[in-house]
Amino acid sequence: MAMAKKKSKLKETNLTPKLYFAVRIRGAPGMRRKILDTLKILRMHKVNHGVLIWGTPSYKGMLTKCKDYIAYGVIDEKTLVRLLRVRGRVEGNKMLTEEYIKKLTDYKSFKELAKALLNGEIQYREKYIYKIKPVFRLHPPRKGHRGTIKKHYNEGGSLGNVGLYINEIIYKML
């Protein structure tokens, strides 16, 4: 008898992973310890804190684990430029300006930095972007969240993977 060959379970991965933006929507009371620890690893310590996350399998697993407390989706370039300009901070809690971008990175403007982040050329882990804070402290959304904060996006709420709707959430929270 001939044995059947197993197919490889490895999927093709893109060279440039997608850039996700995740924002914490719900608080800590009644939360399981593992989920709280995962949120701490993702640097979302408080409600309305947002972070940029690259779409590696380990980060995707963390996002799905915390989906009951956060909203996340793929961010576009226009929104990322506005987010960096309005809510970007540098060490010492100073506003991120184009002078800081020229001084701390190899890029000259917000648009160039946003393109490099979206393409996966640079990440916050590398040594020349470490002085730019990775956490964006946002305002509560104008006119509230979509539906309720206790249901997922496909049930009429605003939790979990919201896809491109994350860009509207960011605009409401700036």
Phi, psi for 72 (deg, rounded to 5): -145, 155
Say yes or no: 72 and 141 in one domain. yes
Query: For residue 92, is pLDDT > 70?
Result: yes
HEC string of 1-14 equals CCCCCCCCCCCCCC
Q: Is 130 left (phi over 0), alpha (psi -120 to 50) or beta?
A: alpha
How far is the C-alpha of 55 from the C-alpha of 22, rounded, in Å?
11
pLDDT at site 38: 92
pLDDT of residue 71: 92
Which of 1-5, 13-17, 77-81, 146-150 is the least confident region?
13-17
Query: CB neighbours (10 Å) of residue 161?
Result: 20
Q: Does 92 share its domain with 121?
A: yes
Please provide the average confidence, as pLDDT, over all residues in the chain.
84
> Do both 116 and 32 map to the same domain?
no
Q: Strands of 19-24's sheet, edge to edge?
A: 135-137, 49-54, 19-24, 70-74, 160-161
Rounded-to-integer distance, Cα 127 and Cα 124, Å: 8
Number of domains in the chain: 2
CATH of the domain at 31: 3.30.1390.20
Same domain, 84 and 69: no
Of all residues in the chain, the percent with pLDDT exceeding 70 is 88
Task: Give the per-residue pLDDT at 56.
Answer: 87
Binned at pLDDT 50, 70 and 90, residue 131 comes out as confident
CATH number at residue 113: 1.10.15.30
CA atoms within 13 A on the CB side of 113: 27
98 and 120 in a single domain? The answer is: yes
Q: Domain span at residue 146?
A: 19-76+137-173
Res. 17: pLDDT tops 80: no
Q: Are residues 91 and 69 in the same domain?
A: no
pLDDT at 16 over 50: no
Residue 4 included in any domain: no
Distance of alpha carbon 68 from the chain centroid:
15
